[in-house]
Amino acid sequence: MPDAWRLATGTLTALPVGPPRQVTRSTARAAMLLAPAAVLPLGALVAAILWLGGRADLPPLAVAFVAVGALAAGSRALHWDGLSDVADGLTASYDRERSLAVMKTGTSGPAGVVATVVVAGIQAAALTAYVDTLGLALLAGALVCLSRCALWITCCTRVPSARPGGLGDTYTRTVPLPLAALGGLLLSVTGGLVVLLLVRRTTTRFGGVTGDVFGAAIELALATTLLTWAWW
């Protein structure tokens, strides 16, 4: 369990933690299941920014964008990089190898830039609904943590790896289907459906999922769940 905790925290946050002694598939599975708990400090950070911004009577949209930026910094913007790469890969070519090569370059093309701007804008616009009270700010922080349940779906035992030997290969096919289904429910169903559609699309185009798909799933899940609860 200590190795899994260090792996989850070190991978999903910018918090300084020691490296795990060894990374096995069992460790990787436990790390994915611990993902929502591992980002509790990031959820608390977002909640604090929203609440303090509301107390200071600052413009809600400005406060929301600060929260989105702080969350990105707290995760080293790793998930945003994944979202950008997936968008570029899906629009680059219908050839699987060409798409995977584009995703591996690490640069952002037009599709990647547009995807990050649109999803970040949706997150920020949705977060304006959580600025008014402490209870709403805490709800937003909780949704940040729950958005990491997207990893339970991308790492489901039914989902193959697109790139054997890649960064995400250790984590794929590790989470049992019942837990992946539970993750979809914890994502308010709507978030789970969005992640499921992403997994289906990338599996069709790339032959499976990659570490970039994990990051894209998290950001899309967060945007969707924030919108869903704001609507409710």
> Percent of the chain at pLDDT above 90?
72
Domain residue spans of the chain = 2-231
54 pLDDT band, cuts 50/70/90, is very high
What count of Cα atoms within 13 Å lies in the side-chain half-sphere of residue 163?
Answer: 18
Q: Is 173 helix (H, G, I), strand (E, B) or coil?
A: coil
CA dist 162 and 200 (Å) reads 12
**Which has the higher per-residue pLDDT, 118 or 99?**
118
pLDDT value at position 5? 87
**pLDDT tens digit sequence for 139-171:** 999 999 999 999 999 999 999 988 877 767 788
Arithmetic mean of pLDDT over the chain = 92
The answer to whether residue 77 scores a pLDDT higher than 80 is yes
pLDDT value at position 96? 82
**Which has the higher per-residue pLDDT, 15 or 94?**
15
> Percent of the chain at pLDDT above 70?
99
pLDDT value at position 109? 85
The answer to whether residue 177 scores a pLDDT higher than 80 is yes
Tokens linked to 100: 């995977």
51-55 long-range Cβ contacts below 8 angstroms, 24+ apart:
51/131, 51/133, 51/134, 51/137, 51/138, 53/131, 54/131, 54/132, 54/133, 54/137
The verdict on pTM exceeding 0.85 is yes
Q: Is 88 helix (H, G, I), strand (E, B) or coil?
A: helix
CA angle at 138 for the pair 133 and 130, rounded to the nearest 5°:
50
CA dist 199 and 218 (Å) reads 12
Q: What are phi and psi of 161, to 5 degrees?
A: -90, 135
**pLDDT tens digit sequence for 186-216:** 999 999 999 999 999 999 999 999 999 999 9
Number of Cβ atoms within 10 Å of the Cβ of 29: 21
pLDDT value at position 193? 97
pLDDT value at position 184? 92
The answer to whether residue 21 scores a pLDDT higher than 90 is no
pLDDT value at position 97? 84
pLDDT value at position 25? 84
CA angle at 109 for the pair 150 and 101, rounded to the nearest 5°:
75
